[in-house]
Amino acid sequence: MNIRPITEADADAIRPLWEEFEAEVPEPEGFRQDSWEEAWAEFRQELGFVAEDDDGPVAYAFAKPPVHGRAHLDEIYVRPRARRTGLTKALLRELVQALDAEWLSLEVLTANQNALAVWRHLGFVEIESLLIARLADLKLEDGAAGPSYGAIYLQTDDETPIRRALGRFVPRLPDAQLSGPRNGWLELTDPRLDEEPKLLLRLAQELSAATGSVVASLGVEQGAVVRYALFEAGRGVDEYLSVPDYYGPLPPGDAIALAANPTVVARLTGADPARVREVARTATSPAELPPADELYRQLAELLRLASD
């Protein structure tokens, strides 16, 4: 494997690799993608190295010259056939030796978890985040958020252990109301639970642990999103939030965890799994889903928490 500096004459050799990189790691939505001519004009102002094997170029790296001691790794790409051969480190070694800098920075997409793991392993640490939003999705209106409300449903007809657990719960809920059972569920409501969605979840879990029964919480939060949680003997077994990133960006794994699990829902509530997939959808914005009140009603029927 030969690694050498990139020159003006390498434009035609580098372009296919750059096009592969752009196809593999496209710009996120909201960002304009440069043309090759624009990219090459910028690369010409930077320090670059290319790696070649017997079949031609397989990798390249470009870095911006240092400013106040910090250089910036603009782009690095290794073709699939040459990956896991140490080329990333080899290209970085060439850049580090050629750059008169104390620091090297880079940018990586949050969604690219594999790349993040590689850079962290090499010693890079995260110091800032770049945020982006559609102007239409910005929450700039004056005034308070919409109303929150919800209820807890217990798969039992025995009120005694429920009232005993409520007597030990902090904060006290003197206005708590039990009704039912309907479809095998007792319903618990209280004004305090409407005001505090987190309290709704906590009480549902505590009641499940205290009674050993299946407990569900279902609520609308800030008039915009709908959440349900299912507990079995105090253990959380499924949680759904209609817009997982509503309260802020989440790691991909956490966002996936807030999608409905049709198998679990069907086992605990008797719901039709196909109907769970149809109704309990997630989205990136409340505008992409039915109004929160309507989605709440659909989920109550789906989970068989509503009337017969």
> Within the chain, which residue ranges are assigned CATH 3.40.630.30?
2-132
Percentage of residues of the chain with pLDDT beyond 70: 96
Q: Which helix (H) or strand (E) holds 259?
A: none
Largest CA distance in the chain: 83
- Hey, what long-range contacts does 81-86 have (CB within 8 A, 24 or more apart)? 82/1, 82/51, 82/53, 82/58, 85/1
Q: In this predicted structure, which of 17-21, 112-116, 227-231 has the lowest mean pLDDT?
A: 112-116
Which CATH class name applies to 2-132? Answer: alpha beta
Can you give the pTM of this predicted structure?
A: 0.55
Do 249 and 259 contact (CB within 8 A), yes or no? no
Residue 116 backbone dihedrals phi, psi, to 5 degrees: -60, -40
Do 204 and 210 contact (CB within 8 A), yes or no? no
pLDDT band at 129 (very low <50, low <70, confident <90, very high): confident
Q: Is 99 helix (H, G, I), strand (E, B) or coil?
A: coil
pLDDT for 123: 94
- Cis bond leading into 251, ω under 30°? no
